[in-house]
Chain A
Amino acid sequence: MIILKSISKQYSRDSFSLKDINLHIKAGEFVSLVGQSGTGKTTLVKLIIAEEKINRGKIEIGGWDITDISNKDIPLLRRQIGVIFQDFKLLGKKTVAENIAFALEVAGDNKKRINKIVPKVLDVVGLGHKKYSYPHELSGGEKQRVAIARSLVHAPKILVADEPTGNLDTLNTEEIMEILKKINDFGTTVLLVTHNRDIVNRLKKRVITIYDGKIISDEESGKYRL
């Protein structure tokens, strides 16, 4: 589903953010990408959603070579990958339902389909009763659940979660992880970027560890080793 072949990314001539990364994530996998701050985890996410371009190597997402993706095709790619972030990235002036609907509207979905999908994904994350609330009226956990709901509207084959629990307390962290596991159970490939040791250890899923821009370990049922 996600194939990275010998990719490197450098922002300046002297330092590499990612160096010679080779990675193959299969469809339906739940993979945790761990590592300390500044080791290149978020850069990897940015490359997968084409927010940044690689300097060397090749990236394939779902069979689509996005190494030299055109600006015109980037929106198409992003509609196919669900992404959630630590800071939720919700539109502050739109309600919960509007935030979710927006992802469908930009893709050109009609109103009938939008009215059908939005309540469904809100039910998945248990926020059906908050659809008219604005983000500032929600707790951190609720905001993240809205972000997850938004990422699910296109029924993506891949969900990338960049530190989704970084701003949440233990209870909300548990809830978010349960939702991510549920999404994975439905067949969606989940790439979880985190430095939360407990989460990774309890998942008992594949763990990839990055250190200084390189993959230093890749274990099928791994633990947080740093």
Chain B
Amino acid sequence: MKNLENIVYNKKNMGIFRIIKFAFQDIFRNFSLSFMTVLILVLMLLSVNTLIIVRIITDKSISVVRDQIDVSIYFSPEADEEQIIEIRDYISSFPEITKQTFFSSDQVLENFKNSYVNNEEIMMSLEELGENPLGPTLVVKTRDPKDYKKIILALDIPEYRDIIEAKTFDDTEIAIEKISNVTGQLERFTYFLTALFGLIAFVIIFNTIRVAIYTQRIEIGIKKLVGATNWYVKGPYIIEALFFSILSIFLAFLVILVSISFFDNYLVVIFSTPNLLTNYYNLNIMNLVLFQFLSVFLLTSLSSLFAMSKYLKK
């Protein structure tokens, strides 16, 4: 039974505006603490985005290397058009194929001549032959270097043995396998780095917030002593976490967007792709901002609540 006659508890004015007012008072009156918290959040966001940039560059490098790999199928000069079309259709039916380029006998001869234009012996031998000794060629690209073996095995059937004279795969198989291994390891390494950076970011942010709350533990106790509810004590910290998250995301992305346009000038020389990083960020900006904002906000607010819990018990 509550008595004390004059218990007055007016919930109407326990509003969010008062909580927001306290939050901003705390932010500006503890300016150095607020500044350090935002600085650490910005540095962590920059680290995470550096890793994203490293991944973009690594992915691009891997795709450039993979793009260099293809398999050439050399048809016999005697192969007729119908047989070649049948093989081309057969190859097209594989979902792994991303591109196939067909060169007719004449085109192959032209390319051959261009390659050996300075080699008189070869040019003379060609003239002595009087006819085109080269058959058509089909150049095939797959999504993954591992898929080449599957295509080659599929073509290694008795019906095609007389039509297909040679395949370059036998020569490049080891190289393709090595590249596959290296690119696979690179991918795994970037995943590992991402996880490691995520863990480091979590530990640093969590401890930064814990220290910030620790410095205010006496104030938290005083607020409780004068009759503040837990919500009234926690509320400003959640608003502060929201403000710090928004501000740090804004500052970090400002630095990142300026930096990537600078780096793009150098990357275009290496990859011949203009605005590699800028295009990626422009395309994914909403997802990147939203995901990073939610991560930072959840991490800072939950860290605050966790760090505060023991000071709220009394």
Chain A residues proximal to chain B, CB less than 8 Å: 49, 51-52, 61-65, 71-73, 75-80, 83, 89-94, 98, 102-103, 105-110, 150, 154-155, 157
Q: A52's closest neighbor in chain B, by CB?
A: B314
B26→A93 contact, CB < 8 A = yes
Verify A64–B225 contact, CB threshold 8 A: no
Q: Which of B1-54 contact A (CB under 8 A)?
A: 1-14, 18, 25-26, 29-30
Q: Say whether A91 contacts B219, CB under 8 Å.
A: yes
Whether the pair A76, B25 counts as a contact (CB closer than 8 A) is: no
User: In the assembly, what is the distance between CA of A73 and CA of B3, in Å?
Assistant: 12
A-B contact pairs, 10 of them (CB 8 A): A61-B4, A64-B3, A75-B227, A91-B219, A92-B219, A98-B25, A102-B223, A102-B228, A108-B12, A154-B6
- The interface residues of chain A lying within 8 Å CB-to-CB of B29 are 93-94
Whole-angstrom CA separation of A48 from B14 in the bound complex = 26
Interface residues of B in 179-232 (CB under 8 A from A): 219, 221-230, 232
* Chain A residues with CB below 8 A from B232, complex form: 106
If A80-B4, A80-B7, A108-B10 touch, whether A94 touches B25 (CB-CB below 8 Å) is yes
Would you call B228 and A106 a contact (CB within 8 A)? Answer: yes
**Docked-complex contact A157 and B5, CB < 8 angstroms:** yes
Closest B residue to A157 by CB, please name it.
B4
Nearest first, the 10 A-B pairs at minimum CB distance are A63-B3, A79-B227, A108-B10, A62-B4, A106-B228, A78-B227, A93-B29, A108-B13, A103-B226, A75-B227
Decide yes or no: A83 and B225 within 8 Å by CB, A106-B232, A157-B6 being known contacts. Answer: yes
A64 pairs with B1, CB closer than 8 A: yes
Closest to B11 in A: A108
A106 to B222 alpha-carbon distance, docked (Å): 12
Given known pairs A76-B9, A93-B26, A94-B25, the reply for A106 and B4 (CB within 8 Å) is no
Q: How many residues of chain B get a CB closer than 8 Å to chain A's CBs?
A: 32
A150 and B6 contact, Cβ closer than 8 Å, known pairs A64-B1, A91-B219, A93-B25 = no
Residue of A nearest to B13 (CB): A108
- Interface of A, helix, strand, loop or mixed by DSSP: loop
Decide: A78 near B6, CB < 8 A? Known: A93-B25, A106-B232: no
Q: Using Cβ atoms and an 8 Å threshold, which residues of chain B touch A108?
A: 9-14
- Cβ of B34 to closest chain A Cβ, rounded Å: 12
Instruction: Choose among B6, B29, B227 the residue with the greatest number of A CB atoms under 10 Å from its CB.
Output: B227
Q: Give the residues in chain A near B4, CB-CB below 8 Å.
A: 61-64, 77, 80, 157
Question: Which residues does chain B contribute within 8 Å of A80, judged by CB atoms?
Answer: 4, 6-7
Q: How far is the CB of B28 from chain A (nearest CB, A)?
A: 9
Residues of B within 8 A of A154 (CB): 6, 8
Complex Cα spacing A89 to B227, Å:
13
Given contacts A76-B7, A91-B223, A102-B226, 8 further A-B contacts (CB under 8 A): A65-B1, A78-B227, A89-B225, A91-B219, A102-B223, A105-B13, A108-B10, A157-B5
Q: Which residues of B contact A49 (CB under 8 A)?
A: 225
Separation of A80 and B6 alpha carbons in the complex (Å): 8
Query: Closest residue of chain B to A158, judged by CB?
Result: B4
Known interface pairs A80-B6, A155-B6, A157-B4. Does A75 touch B229 (Cβ–Cβ under 8 Å)?
A: yes
Complex CA gap A169/B167 in Å reads 101
Chain B nearest Cβ from A161, distance in angstroms: 14
Instruction: Take A51-B314, A92-B219, A93-B25 as given contacts and tell me if A107 and B3 are in contact as well, using a CB distance cutoff of 8 Å.
Output: no
**A48–B302 CA distance with the chains assembled, in angstroms:** 33
Provided the pairs A92-B219, A93-B25 are in contact, do residues A106 and B6 lie with their beta carbons within 8 angstroms? no
A132 to B13, CA, bound (A): 24
Residue on B nearest A79 in the bound complex, by CB: B227
What is the CB-to-nearest-CB distance from B38 to chain A, in angstroms, rounded to a whole number? 18
